């Protein structure tokens, strides 16, 4: 058995693992990274964030093309199949893998491919695909193994018509009708993607509204837009049984209803990838969803072992995992816990249209009895929106009535995940720097979508009275 000694070992090459490894390597630490897949990038690159957003981009362009007045006189509207958009997605993944592999090579991080298991709190055994064993030791270890789709035992995921959010990427032909079970972020995104391809979609939601963690006005806008595009949303429903057949899938709901479609995408929750790590050998026990508990420094209860990303649960965002990995590495380097995630983490949801938000919702501010006011701008009223024929979308700014401090920003519409960062930058300023009046007193390029901030700010300030 080959043996290797390092300053630090990182398990998993997704955003959290990559960020941690890069930070340690740039500070002259001897770092090993273990990846069980044959290529770096983790689930984010190969099955999650990157593929789904690449799919969404292709479909959004198709929808934009077919709805544009410039092309409506054409005899034949544009069409794409799932296989068509998959080809673009595969090219994006290939570019991402090449880019990320270059990071490890340039920073002299040793990448070991294989299954990792703890031997003790300083030692990891790696079994390669051919059965070769390696043993790696280090002072500190960072677990960044990510997550996978939750699979309940009573659903046959081996059936060729039943998919989860990883295996849906293997879909070879367009279904005529798909059932998506689970109306969280992944479910809503794929509902948009398939409906944009002209597929009939049933979206089964166990709750009484979509994405209830968002501002209600935004979730209502999404619900209306999905409904208006033809998605059937079934709220407060749960499955009783799922039966895969030769010609489709039948979902029996506890309410007594039955739905039949060509295939099923089960998108209800995720499980941390910890079950193969032999964590019991070092005294760590994940929760029922395979997630590890950490302190504010991302340390587990074993002081030299850290965990970041989806494997620790909330907020389960690639953007947050990048920061968590960087912060965990910094805490190891400084041997002190001095860094934290920012207070207001932006959320980007890549439905069609996009949703993005940062800060408090109206519901939270009302519950906390904060005196706030609202400023709104509709995209269809902006010059750039009219030029681009962007008829759907809006920006909402929540601010304190007395101090004019920005408390929350919520955006629905194309490019929302980009637009939100203008407001986020101002929210991060301290004191008088965080004021809705900034948007009135600054000069924006014209015409731009960013001008929505000035319009919303004026709209909100006009609502104030003594």
3-state secondary structure of 394: strand
CATH of the domain at 204: 3.50.50.60
**Looking at residue 78, what is its pLDDT?**
83
**Looking at residue 66, what is its pLDDT?**
86
- What is the helix (H) or strand (E) element at residue 3, kind and residue range? strand 2-11
69 and 132: one domain?
A: yes
C-alpha pair distances (Å), 112 with each of 102, 136, 302, 372, 446: 15, 10, 24, 53, 51
Q: Which residues form the domain of 46?
A: 2-149+271-334
Rounded CA-CA distance 177/195 in Å is 9
131 and 6: one domain?
A: yes
- 180-191 pLDDT, tens per residue? 999 999 999 999
Q: Which residues of the chain have pLDDT under 70?
A: 74-76, 466
**Domain annotation covers residue 466:** no
3-state secondary structure of 384: helix
**Looking at residue 230, what is its pLDDT?**
97
249 and 384: one domain?
A: no
**Looking at residue 166, what is its pLDDT?**
95
**Looking at residue 69, what is its pLDDT?**
77
Rounded CA-CA distance 286/299 in Å is 14
Rounded CA-CA distance 242/52 in Å is 25
281 and 261: one domain?
A: no
142 and 234: one domain?
A: no
User: Last residue of a domain, which of 241, 268, 295?
Assistant: 268
**Domain annotation covers residue 343:** no
**Looking at residue 376, what is its pLDDT?**
98
Instruction: Kindly state the tokens that stand for 295.
Output: 């302190």
Instruction: Kindly state the tokens that stand for 107.
Output: 């920073």
65 and 206: one domain?
A: no
**Domain annotation covers residue 154:** no
429 and 359: one domain?
A: yes
**Looking at residue 340, what is its pLDDT?**
85
**Looking at residue 74, what is its pLDDT?**
66
**Looking at residue 466, what is its pLDDT?**
62
Number of domains in the chain: 3
275 and 258: one domain?
A: no
Rounded CA-CA distance 445/422 in Å is 13
Rounded CA-CA distance 148/155 in Å is 16
Instruction: Kindly state the tokens that stand for 225.
Output: 């837009």
**Domain annotation covers residue 129:** yes
pTM surpassing 0.85? yes
Edge-first strand order for the sheet with 177-181 is 162-164, 263-266, 177-181, 200-204, 232-234
User: Last residue of a domain, which of 246, 268, 290?
Assistant: 268
65 and 145: one domain?
A: yes
């Amino acid at each position: 058995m080959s043996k290797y000694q390092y300053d630090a070992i990182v398990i998993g090459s997704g955003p959290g693992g990559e960020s941690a490894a890069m930070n340690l390597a740039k500070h002259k630490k001897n770092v090993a990274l273990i990846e069980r897949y044959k290529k770096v990038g983790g689930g984010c690159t190969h099955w999650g964030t990157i593929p789904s957003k690449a799919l969404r981009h292709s479909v959004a362009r198709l929808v934009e093309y077919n709805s544009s007045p410039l092309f409506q006189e054409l005899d034949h509207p544009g069409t794409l199949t799932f296989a068509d958009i998959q080809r673009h997605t595969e090219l994006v993944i290939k570019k991402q893998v090449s880019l990320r592999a270059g990071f490890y090579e340039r920073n002299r991080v040793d990448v070991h491919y294989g299954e990792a298991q703890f031997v003790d709190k300083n030692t990891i055994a790696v079994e390669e695909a051919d059965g070769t064993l390696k043993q790696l030791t280090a002072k500190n270890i960072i677990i960044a193994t990510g997550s996978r789709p939750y699979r309940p035992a009573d659903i046959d995921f081996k059936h060729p018509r039943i998919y989860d959010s990883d295996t849906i990427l293997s879909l070879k032909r367009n279904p005529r009708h798909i059932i998506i079970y689970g109306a969280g972020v992944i479910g809503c995104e794929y509902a948009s993607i398939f409906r944009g391809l002209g597929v009939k979609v049933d979206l089964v939601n166990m709750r009484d509204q979509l994405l209830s963690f968002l501002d209600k006005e935004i979730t209502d806008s999404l619900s209306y837009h999905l409904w208006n595009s033809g998605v059937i949303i079934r709220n407060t429903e749960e499955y009783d049984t799922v039966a895969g057949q030769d010609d489709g899938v039948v979902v029996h709901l506890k309410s007594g209803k039955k739905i039949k479609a060509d295939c099923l995408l089960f998108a209800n929750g995720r499980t941390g990838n910890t079950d193969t790590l032999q964590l019991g050998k070092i005294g760590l026990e994940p929760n029922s969803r395979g997630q590890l508990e950490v302190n504010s420094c991302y340390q587990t209860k074993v002081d030299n072992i850290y965990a970041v990303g989806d494997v620790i649960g909330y907020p389960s965002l690639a953007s947050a995992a990048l920061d968590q990995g960087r912060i965990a590495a910094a805490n190891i380097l400084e041997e002190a816990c001095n860094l934290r995630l920012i207070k207001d983490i932006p959320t980007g949801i890549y439905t069609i249209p996009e949703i993005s938000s940062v800060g408090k919702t109206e519901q939270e501010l009302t519950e906390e009895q904060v005196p706030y006011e609202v400023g709104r701008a509709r995209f269809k009223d902006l010059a750039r929106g009219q030029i681009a024929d962007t008829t759907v979308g809006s920006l909402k700014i929540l601010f304190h009535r007395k101090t004019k401090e920005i408390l929350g920003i919520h955006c629905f519409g194309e490019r929302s995940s980009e637009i939100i960062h203008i407001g986020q930058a101002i929210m991060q300023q301290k004191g008088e720097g965080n004021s809705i009046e900034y948007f009135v007193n600054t000069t924006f390029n014209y015409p731009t979508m960013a001008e929505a901030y000035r319009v919303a700010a004026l709209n909100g300030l006009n609502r104030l009275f003594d």
